[in-house]
Amino acid sequence: MEAVKGSLAKENNVYLRGFGTFEVKTRKAKTGRNITKNTTVIIPEHKVPTFKPCTEFKNQVK
């Protein structure tokens, strides 16, 4: 798991055959709301880690 975290920190995708893919995706900047203060907040563009399981893994879980 440390190797996966290190690779994702360097923005490298990790492919584990028979398990799935760990990727880094960029989320666009967007406008949000702070409902307690009723103000508009700008959420900047940022990167998030994602996981997509492979078909074999999904079928076994079903």
pLDDT at 34 (0 to 100):
92
State pTM to two decimals.
0.74
Domain around 39: 2-61
Total number of domains constituting the chain: 1
Q: Which two tokens stand for residue 27?
A: 């989320």
Report pLDDT digits (tens) over 20-55. Answer: 999 999 999 999 999 999 999 999 999 999 999 999
Residue 36: CATH number of its domain: 4.10.520.10
C-alpha dihedral over 52, 58, 60, 62, to 10 degrees? 140
pLDDT at 31 (0 to 100):
95
pLDDT at 17 (0 to 100):
92
